[in-house]
Amino acid sequence: MAATSTATFLSFQSQGNALPQTRPSAVRFSPRYSLVSFSGLKEVTSVNCETESSFISKESSTTLRGSFALKARKANRASRYGLQLVASYKVAILGAAGGIGQPLALLIKMSPLVSALNLYDIANVKGVAADLSHCNTPSQVLDFTGASELGDCLKGANVVVIPAGVPRKPGMTRDDLFNINANIVMSLVEAVADNCPDAFIHIISNPVNSTVPIAAEVLKQKGVYNPKKLFGVTTLDVVRANTFVAQKKNLKLIDVDVPVIGGHAGITILPLLSKTKPTVSFTDEEVEQLTVRIQNAGTEVVEAKAGAGSATLSMAYAAARFVESSLRALDGDGDIYECSFVQSDLTDLPFFASRIKLGRNGVEALIPSDLIGLSEYEGKMLEALKPELKASIEKGIAFVQKQPVTA
């Protein structure tokens, strides 16, 4: 079973390609089965599934190669060109002019699965859209400014990503963000419920432990709540865990996969180092040091930026990975696994981050195996995080119940 997602941000080689290349796999399609017209580039005569590319794990690249080989055979029956990627999904980013929104929009613009990229913000989004529209990739970019245009931005969207909100500043806790960001998420999700209730909803706005329950309550009051399609994006915790473990143990990053469970703030973030792939041993001291660093990685960035912002680039990268996983699931790929903060019955908490399987209808399955056979340290940390996570969830629910949404 593939532990992490693969992405369709691939490396395409053609004559005269000056882009830096990572070590390619041996998988190629012959010239007469070329993939054509990807991202506005010249027709190519080979496809390389890069085993060390940005989003792809070693385990998952095998799945990707098999998937593309199958699609090539099917396409060959219908067309002399063989494999073709068809951009067919609409993605809306709410908060697209912000520190996360801009790089996230660029990364999503690179996806060959996206036909329409709608960018919304309360100001300054027109320039972002104009800039991105010059990139010769398949998606059409449109800008929408202010509440009066929000509905038009959302109509027909397959995936809605919400990074809107105020970023953390030095000395500010995630809880300090609550009152501002809670109102922002509430109003945006109301619009989603009215205009594209069947879309996958990706919540990035912090504190995720509270904003996801807020979104759920809004959708319930609107009568359109589907727990399988509401996600708290915790992919950054996985990305960080993989990176830090690879650095600590001198492993190839492409090989490393660390599941991260719980929530998305402080001690509620629990990397399961005992479940690391490939199997690697840690001393008790290493476990504690790595766990604390992963939990406090956001603060590490806030302090390093010294008042100039929070984790925007790494968050955009992680969110783009989750968007790509969602698009591939919508497109019928049956082997997509990610960690996400979702409605869950794996613990006694109503929401919980864990590994999930994604499909066309959203969450196809929760993966309980990661919670079996935890180390003694992880077991204690799991019990320790529950009261804080429970309080954050309840805070989000209470926020909406105190000020019901408009019908």
Place of tokens 């001198």: 250
Cβ-based burial of 150 (10 A; exposed 0-12, middle 13-18, buried ≥19): buried
The whole-number pLDDT of residue 168 equals: 63
pLDDT above 80 (res 232): yes
- Contact criterion met (CB below 8 Å) for 85 and 35: yes
pLDDT above 60 (res 20): no
Bridge partner residues of 94 (DSSP): 120
Mean pLDDT in residue range 32-44: 33
More confident site: 232 or 177: 232
Tell how far CA 262 is from the center of its chain: 16
pLDDT above 50 (res 63): no
Mean pLDDT in residue range 277-286: 96
The whole-number pLDDT of residue 298 equals: 92
DSSP string for 218-229: HHHHHT---GGG
Lowest mean pLDDT among 43-47, 63-67, 236-240, 323-327: 43-47
The whole-number pLDDT of residue 73 equals: 45
pLDDT, mean over the chain: 84
The whole-number pLDDT of residue 279 equals: 94
Bridge partner residues of 336 (DSSP): 358
Q: Where are the alpha helices (DSSP H) in 296-375?
A: 297-305, 313-330
More confident site: 57 or 264: 264
SS3 (DSSP) at 107: helix
The whole-number pLDDT of residue 403 equals: 78
C-alpha angle with apex 394: 388 to 399, nearest 5 degrees? 130
CA gap 19, 48 in Å, rounded: 13
The whole-number pLDDT of residue 195 equals: 98
CA gap 41, 44 in Å, rounded: 8
Lowest mean pLDDT among 126-130, 309-313, 314-318, 319-323: 309-313
The whole-number pLDDT of residue 101 equals: 98
Structure confidence by residue, pLDDT tens digits, 355-398: 999 999 999 999 999 999 999 999 999 999 999 999 999 999 99
- Band of the pLDDT at 87, cuts 50, 70, 90? confident
- Band of the pLDDT at 308, cuts 50, 70, 90? confident
- For 243-378, list the strands marked E by DSSP: 260-262, 269-271, 336-343, 351-359, 362-366
Element of type H or E holding 400: helix 376-402
The whole-number pLDDT of residue 194 equals: 98
Active-site residue identified among 264, 275, 328, 355: 264
Q: Is the peptide bond before 278 cis (omega within 30 degrees of 0)?
A: yes
Residue closest to 203 by CA, chosen among 212, 216, 191: 212
Lowest mean pLDDT among 51-55, 58-62, 161-165, 337-341: 51-55
Does the active-site annotation cover 264?
A: yes
More confident site: 263 or 61: 263
Mean pLDDT in residue range 237-254: 97
The whole-number pLDDT of residue 218 equals: 98
Lowest mean pLDDT among 82-86, 124-128, 362-366: 82-86
pLDDT above 50 (res 65): no
Mean pLDDT in residue range 68-94: 61
pLDDT above 80 (res 175): no
